[in-house]
């Protein structure tokens, strides 16, 4: 807005340079005559402070004039400016009192004896013990620490009064109390030490006047910022355009399309009105008689269009604003889509969920994904992205039904039901056991058995890909109708002794595989048996 980082004037920069030169000369123990130069710098600062005070007073006078012309518009900023004035006056008064206390302590004067005296009347200009004790103290908690807190509180107060996120940057270089301060030996020191420790009274007195100048500069920057904010809150009619802000561009049949029509820079003190028509691509001031009027409030016109038909819809109109030059009109247009409320909810593997395993589910609806609200009927979904999910029903749900429901958040505190789908929960069917990859019960050759020395389990006509692992089985060997051996084995492989038995088997020998168990993510299953007979 107005002020930018409290910039110093050329005069202020010159005074600051003079002050730096003088303090440097003090470090060289120059003659007492040099101290008198501080009087010149101090008097120059006091003149600058008077000029600043006049400048600030002119800003307040401009505020008063604006307040008379546009009270409703200006008063909020004027009230803030008065708070700034009060805080600044209190800060200056505090620094003036500190100057007086310093003078009295250094020269041992009473308040009555101080009347009318200035720096040139100070006898102990070169005294640094008393100023150091006064400002720093024995523990570093002297007047300078209090002063620093006052300054920081003053800046914080101004930021709170203005209450604009851009304003703190304006005060970045004003009344700085934090920095990389170092003494002549290069050692770090505080703001208090940097400005007041082991400095002569004349220098400390001049610093206080310098701080008063910074306060007046800060006050001027703050008041200027507030003053510029008055115009920032107004329309600039040479750069205005209408804007349509719909609550949603997708509307469900039976609901209403809603949108806010505003000027790009809203003036809440205006009550604009619009003229609009459905099915139009353009509209101008000349079309007003053919359009529908909607009145606005606080800078915004709320447009609500009932819907019936399905498909793309369009409308156009003009917004009217009152200005000092008369009514002005700005054209606008927009489009939206009306669709039936529906959602596609599909189990990727039929309308059946199998307990104990991940079941893929796809959900699609004509709204943004973040607007969907899904009820899972007690299931716990895993989101995969792109409208894809997985659900793993508990086995306690076998034989029951679950319903997944979808609704859409319309962004107006309302929701629209999009549909639902019921699913049956079943147990995973048992896989079928085979010798090798595909040998079932029947006659086989010894060569077939020897080349497939293991059992497998596979799902038949099942849409899910489940990997089953044979964990154990029982084998009985039957010759001439008599069982000659029976043993239980673990794992799927035929051990070497079983392979030797197969190798020595004669025609007609039967191998009966029973009590076969298999395991997968669906759990442990007991499978049907296999009986093969050697050809």
* HEC assignment per residue over 105-141: HHHCCCCCCCCCCCHHHCCCCCCCHHHHHHHCCCCCC
User: Residue 330, class by beta-carbon neighbours within 10 Å (0-12 exposed, 13-18 middle, 19+ buried)?
Assistant: buried
Buried b (16+ CB within 10 A) or exposed e, 408-431: bbbeeeeebebeebebbbebbebb
Grouping H, G, I as helix, E, B as strand and the rest as coil, residue 283 is coil
Cα–Cα distance for residue pair 519/464, rounded to 1 Å: 15
Cα–Cα distance for residue pair 309/389, rounded to 1 Å: 33
State pLDDT tens for residues 176-215.
888 888 887 888 899 998 888 888 888 899 889 889 999 9
pLDDT band per the 50, 70, 90 thresholds, residue 41: confident
Residue 5's closest CA among 168, 225, 170, 226? 170
Cα 134 to chain centroid, rounded: 48
Residue-level pLDDT at 382: 92
Task: Please tell me which residue, 85 or 312, carries the higher pLDDT value.
Answer: 85
Domain 344-426 coded CATH 1.20.1050.10: no
> What does the pLDDT average to over 308-322?
78
Cα 92 to chain centroid, rounded: 40
Residue-level pLDDT at 27: 46
Residue-level pLDDT at 309: 61
Domains 244-339 and 344-426 alike in fold: yes
> What does the pLDDT average to over 83-99?
94
Sign of the four-CA dihedral 207, 210, 212, 215: negative
Tokens (6 digits) for 411:
């962004």
**Cβ neighbours for 346, distance < 8 A, ≥ 6 positions apart:** 361, 362, 363, 421
Q: Per mean pLDDT, which of 118-122, 339-343, 361-365, 523-527 is the most reliable? A: 523-527
For residue 156, the 8-state DSSP code is: H
Report domain extents, the chain: 10-232, 244-339, 344-426, 432-534
Range name among 54-58, 245-249, 305-309 with the lowest pLDDT average: 245-249
Topology annotation, domain 244-339: Immunoglobulin-like (2.60.40)
Q: Report which secondary-structure segment, H or E, holds 194.
A: helix 191-196
> What does the pLDDT average to over 9-19?
55
pLDDT band per the 50, 70, 90 thresholds, residue 394: very high
Cα 191 to chain centroid, rounded: 36
Cα–Cα distance for residue pair 429/526, rounded to 1 Å: 11
Residue-level pLDDT at 16: 57
Residue-level pLDDT at 9: 56
Cα–Cα distance for residue pair 418/159, rounded to 1 Å: 49
**Proportion of the chain above pLDDT 90, given as a percent:** 36
Cα–Cα distance for residue pair 317/279, rounded to 1 Å: 11
Grouping H, G, I as helix, E, B as strand and the rest as coil, residue 182 is strand
Residue-level pLDDT at 69: 77
Residue-level pLDDT at 351: 81
What dihedral do alpha carbons 211, 217, 218, 221 form, nearest 10°? -170
Q: Going by DSSP bridges, is the β-strand pair 388-391/381-385 parallel, antiparallel, or unpaired?
A: antiparallel
CB 373, CB 409: distance < 8 Å: yes
Cα–Cα distance for residue pair 171/150, rounded to 1 Å: 15
Q: What angle do CA 324, 327, 328 make, to 5 degrees?
A: 105
Cα 420 to chain centroid, rounded: 34
Residue-level pLDDT at 248: 59
For residue 454, pLDDT over 90 is answered with yes
Task: Please tell me which residue, 245 or 400, carries the higher pLDDT value.
Answer: 400
For residue 237, pLDDT over 50 is answered with no
Q: DSSP labels for 477-489? A: EEETTEEEEEEEE
> What does the pLDDT average to over 289-303?
85
**Proportion of the chain above pLDDT 70, given as a percent:** 82
Residue 127: C-alpha distances to residues 191, 194, 273 (Å): 21, 17, 74
State pLDDT tens for residues 250-281.
555 566 767 777 665 566 667 788 899 988 88
Q: Report which secondary-structure segment, H or E, holds 510.
A: strand 510-520
pLDDT band per the 50, 70, 90 thresholds, residue 134: very high
For residue 61, pLDDT over 80 is answered with yes
Q: Report which secondary-structure segment, H or E, holds 231.
A: helix 201-232
For residue 243, pLDDT over 70 is answered with no
Residue 424's closest CA among 398, 392, 385? 398
Give 57's Cβ-side CA count (13 Å radius).
6
Grouping H, G, I as helix, E, B as strand and the rest as coil, residue 308 is coil
> What does the pLDDT average to over 312-320?
86
For residue 412, pLDDT over 70 is answered with no
Tokens (6 digits) for 154:
């003053």
Tokens (6 digits) for 379:
């299931």
Average pLDDT, the chain: 83
């Amino acid at each position: 807005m107005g002020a930018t980082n409290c910039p110093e004037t050329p005069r202020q920069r010159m005074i600051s340079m003079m002050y730096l030169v003088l303090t440097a000369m003090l470090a060289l123990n120059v003659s007492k005559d040099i101290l008198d130069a501080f009087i010149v710098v101090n008097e120059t600062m006091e003149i600058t402070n008077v000029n600043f005070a006049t400048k600030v007073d002119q800003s307040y006078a401009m505020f008063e004039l604006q307040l008379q012309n546009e009270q409703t518009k200006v008063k909020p900023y004027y009230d803030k400016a008065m708070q700034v004035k009060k805080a600044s006056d209190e800060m200056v008064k505090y620094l003036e009192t500190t100057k007086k206390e310093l003078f009295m302590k250094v020269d041992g004067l009473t308040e009555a004896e101080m009347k009318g005296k200035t720096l040139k009347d100070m006898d102990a200009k070169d005294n640094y013990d008393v100023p150091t004790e006064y400002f720093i103290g024995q523990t570093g908690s002297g007047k300078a620490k209090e002063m620093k807190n006052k300054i920081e509180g003053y800046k914080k107060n101004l930021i709170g009064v203005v209450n604009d996120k851009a304003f703190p940057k304006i005060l970045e270089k004003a009344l700085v109390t934090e920095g990389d301060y170092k003494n002549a030996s290069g050692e770090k020191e505080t703001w208090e030490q940097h400005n007041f420790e082991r400095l002569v009274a004349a220098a400390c007195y001049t610093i206080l006047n310098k701080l008063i100048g910074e306060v007046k500069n800060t006050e001027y920057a703050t008041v200027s910022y507030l003053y510029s904010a008055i115009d920032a809150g107004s329309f600039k009619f040479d750069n205005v355009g209408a804007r349509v802000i719909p609550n949603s561009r997708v509307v469900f049949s039976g609901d209403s399309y809603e949108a806010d029509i505003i000027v790009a820079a809203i003036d809440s003190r205006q009550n604009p009105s619009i003229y609009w028509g459905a099915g139009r691509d353009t509209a101008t001031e000349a079309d007003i008689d053919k359009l529908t009027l909607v009145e606005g409030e606080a800078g915004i016109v709320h447009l609500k269009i009932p819907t019936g038909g399905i498909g793309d819809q369009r409308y156009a109109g003009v917004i009217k604003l009152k200005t000092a030059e008369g009514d002005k009109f700005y054209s606008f247009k927009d489009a939206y889509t009306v669709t039936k409320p529906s959602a596609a909810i599909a189990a990727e593997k039929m309308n059946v969920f199998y307990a104990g395993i991940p079941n893929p589910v796809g959900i699609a609806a004509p709204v943004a994904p973040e607007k969907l609200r899904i009820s899972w009927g007690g299931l716990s979904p895993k989101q995969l992205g792109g409208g894809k999910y997985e659900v793993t029903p508990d086995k306690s749900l076998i034989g029951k039904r679950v319903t997944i429901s979808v609704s859409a958040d319309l962004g107006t505190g309302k929701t629209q039901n999009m549909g639902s789908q019921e699913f049956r929960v079943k147990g995973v069917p048992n896989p079928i056991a085979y010798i090798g990859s595909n040998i079932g019960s029947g006659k086989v050759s010894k060569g077939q058995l020897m080349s497939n020395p293991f059992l497998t389990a596979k799902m038949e006509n099942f849409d899910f890909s489940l990997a089953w692992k044979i964990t154990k089985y029982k084998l009985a060997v039957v010759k001439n109708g008599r069982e000659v051996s029976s043993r239980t084995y673990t794992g799927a492989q035929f051990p070497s002794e079983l392979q030797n038995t197969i190798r020595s088997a004669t025609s007609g020998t039967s191998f009966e595989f029973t009590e076969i168990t298999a395991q997968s993510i669906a759990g442990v299953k007991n499978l049907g048996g296999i009986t093969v007979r050697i050809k």
